[in-house]
Amino acid sequence: MRKLLFFSLFIFTFSTLNAQVIINELDADTDGVDDKEFIEFKTPNPNTPLDGYIMVLFNGSSSGGNSSYYTFNLDGLETDFNGLLVLGGPELDPAPNVLLPINVFQNGADAVAIYQGDESDFPDQTLATTNNLIDALVYDTDDSDDVDLMNLLGVQAQINEDDNNNKDFESIQRNNDGSWFVATPTPRVPNDGSGVTPIFINAQVSSTNINESESFDITFTASEVLSQDLSLNFTLANAGFNQSDYIGDTSVTITSGTASETLTIQTVDDNLDEGDEFVNILISEPAAPYVLNANNIEVIIVDDDFQVANYGTPLNPTFGIVSSTAPENYYTNIEGLSDQNLINELQAIIAEEGVVKTHSYADIYFILEEADVSPLNSNKVWLIYSEIDKPVYEKQTGSASIDKWNREHVFPRSKGGFFSIDDDDIANGINVFWNTTADSLRHGNSDAHHLRPALSTENSSRGNQNFGEYIGPTGNQGSFKGDVARAVFYMQIRYNGLEVVNGFPTTANAGQIGDLQTLLDWHEQDPPDDYEMNRNNVIYNWQTNRNPFIDYPELVDYIWGDKIGQAWDSSLSTTSTEIENVKLYPNPSTGRFSISTSQNFSNLKIYNVSGQLVYQSEVNSSKITLNPNLSKGVYFVQLSSEEKSHKIKLIMR
């Protein structure tokens, strides 16, 4: 009986080995942003289902501990007419059978393995093992061997993708005898050149960005003249974009004796503000011997039904149009308080446990898209520092950052001690949040009151510099300066362990940011406007707390300014509204210019783009003519009366 059981197990094992899938090729490090990475699997026979198999990636770094960091279930997939299946990035050519996000594969020393099993068998941080292992490759990009990882997976050698000193343009490929070599990548083609020679089908669009109601062409081209008709089917639907949004066929035939065919898709202007939308051209995989060179092609449909706000941008601010949505008694408890008592009670309001909500870092994108909506176009966000708006869809989702926007921490993470956890990558939505207190410093990572959309490259330029060291990009008009000052002031009150100080503290000064005097000046030069008040209202809806220095900008003086020690009385607050009908002419000016308003103003100040006061005058008039001897450049003229103010841009030539 024992011999019969052994013979049965032998037959089963022999059968399984003949049917199993192997790793055939890996390109873990490609040029640029790693959007052409891929892994290729191979089976002995073509069109073999891969049900019951999973791909697991292991991190061989010292922090990774030779444990799993990514698992992909192969159920429902099958290899092609050459017994190959490719999982790869969006820019891989030919197109992968399965699309993976950008930069999935770490560079090494790491490993990729195939197991029989299910995703649930390998939660993140599962140690590499030979249990149910089918095949494994331990690889690197010119790194030292990870002997422990090799032993855990029963692998004898670690393969270097940089073996030919050209890792960005080479891949690790398997010989028929099981050994490995490094050469120019050959996705969707057998490494030894055998098998069925593919006919490649390319797809190109006439434009990747069109306005709603416009049309675009899709041209399908074969790598050779076809000897028989080839029909291709595709879909365009993606999220809110559906069949009601376009007119045109979603199938095409390249006829025998030709090599290409073009069709036109006409988009429909539905007069609805649905936001800019992505069309995803997804082509069904053709039968042998055809292979798609391009797939998952995105076309952006720009919605022309966007909304324009009734208030201005930070560059052209308005005041008094947007009112605070703070409950009537929101600030009641700070009345009559001063010094530390005032600070303590403010913190009790904006960090109240059980009331104030903290969301995930992924949710921040949704919050910013609403809070920082451009007043000029509801499908765009306003970018801090760069002082421009940008389409929502142009946010940075991978390592590619040129001309993208991302999330800027006004109080830098490295100075504040904020950090992310795994759950920060999950977009939970407005109804799912974490409990938070004044001591929950980690939650500063996703506190929307100090997070702003910023041009990715400008975010990098700012780095973790203090304000005063960093004054914005060249030629900026300073429209963000008061905003960042009030965000930083909020952070000190909201979280224990944060402090705004004079000078330029380094990261060694944990929790500190500067320069206090610079930020106080910026707060005065750039008062809260309607844009900032709307932002405060939106964030209140998400977090159930407000930035008090937007609602009551005078509070800054009671905590850091010339009213320290005085008791706060909101009835004495003189929240500025707009001086009306301001005219400055000529503008641009070569020297002399005049200013007129519909009411008297008492003070006039002129600032340069760095926020420095270059001219001021005490007046009591509704009209004044000046010749302040300013050099060429951009300036800001600020008028103020007892209760109102106005800021206007002046160009000197």
**Three-state SS annotation for 452-477:** EEEEHHHHHHHCCCCECCECCCCCCC
% of the chain at pLDDT higher than 90: 69
Instruction: Give the pLDDT of residue 399.
Output: 65
Output the CATH code of domain 199-302.
Answer: 2.60.40.2030
pLDDT (tens digit per residue) in 311-348 = 999 998 888 899 999 999 999 999 999 999 999 999 99
pLDDT confidence bin for 577, thresholds 50/70/90:
low
Instruction: Give the pLDDT of residue 398.
Output: 67
pLDDT confidence bin for 254, thresholds 50/70/90:
very high
Residue 224 has pLDDT above 80, yes or no: yes
pLDDT confidence bin for 400, thresholds 50/70/90:
low
Cβ neighbours for 221, distance < 8 A, ≥ 6 positions apart: 201, 202, 203, 204, 259, 260
Instruction: Give the pLDDT of residue 10.
Output: 35
Q: Distance (Å, rounded) from C-alpha 173 to C-alpha 40?
A: 9
Q: What is the mean pLDDT of residues 394-419?
A: 87
Residue 9 has pLDDT above 80, yes or no: no
579/193: higher pLDDT: 193
45-54, 158-167, 184-193, 361-370, range with the lowest pLDDT? 158-167
Q: What is the mean pLDDT of residues 493-512?
A: 94
153-167, 435-449, 463-477, 536-550, range with the lowest pLDDT? 153-167
Instruction: Give the pLDDT of residue 126.
Output: 95
Instruction: Give the pLDDT of residue 12.
Output: 33
Burial, 154: exposed, middle or buried (Cβ in 10 Å; 0-12, 13-18, 19+)?
A: exposed
- Four-CA torsion 384, 386, 392, 394, nearest 10 degrees: -130
Instruction: Give the pLDDT of residue 545.
Output: 97
Q: Distance (Å, rounded) from C-alpha 131 to C-alpha 152?
A: 10
Q: What value does the mean pLDDT of the chain take?
A: 90
Output the CATH code of domain 583-652.
Answer: 2.60.40.3080
Instruction: Give the pLDDT of residue 574.
Output: 52
pLDDT (tens digit per residue) in 275-299 = 888 899 999 999 999 999 999 999 9
pLDDT confidence bin for 649, thresholds 50/70/90:
confident
Instruction: Give the pLDDT of residue 15.
Output: 36
The alpha carbon of residue 80 and the mean position of all alpha carbons in its chain are separated, in whole angstroms, by 35
Residue 14 has pLDDT above 70, yes or no: no
Instruction: Give the pLDDT of residue 640.
Output: 84
264-268, 476-480, 621-625, range with the lowest pLDDT? 621-625
Residue 606 has pLDDT above 50, yes or no: yes
% of the chain at pLDDT higher than 70: 94
pLDDT (tens digit per residue) in 534-544 = 999 999 999 99
Instruction: Give the pLDDT of residue 102.
Output: 83
Q: Do 112 and 140 contact (CB within 8 A), yes or no?
A: no
pLDDT (tens digit per residue) in 559-572 = 999 899 999 988 77
State phi, psi for 94 to the nearest 5 degrees.
Answer: -65, 165
16/41: higher pLDDT: 41
Instruction: Give the pLDDT of residue 8.
Output: 36
pLDDT confidence bin for 241, thresholds 50/70/90:
confident
Q: What is the mean pLDDT of residues 63-90?
A: 94
Cα 605–Cα 611–Cα 613 angle in degrees, nearest 5: 35
Where are the chain's structural domains? Answer: 22-183, 199-302, 337-566, 583-652
Q: Distance (Å, rounded) from C-alpha 572 to C-alpha 537?
A: 23
Residue 98 has pLDDT above 70, yes or no: yes
Instruction: Give the pLDDT of residue 17.
Output: 37
Q: What is the mean pLDDT of residues 88-98?
A: 93
Q: Rank 176-185, 273-282, 615-624 by mean pLDDT and report only the highest.
A: 176-185
pLDDT confidence bin for 72, thresholds 50/70/90:
very high
Please name every residue paired with 645 in a beta bridge, in sequence order, or none if there are none: 578, 640
Q: How far is CA 6 from CA 9, 10, 19, 326, 333, in A?
A: 5, 6, 20, 77, 81
Domains 199-302 and 583-652 share a fold: yes
Please name every residue paired with 56 in a beta bridge, in sequence order, or none if there are none: 71, 113
248: left (phi over 0), alpha (psi -120 to 50) or beta: left
Quote the tokens at residue 308: 């324009």
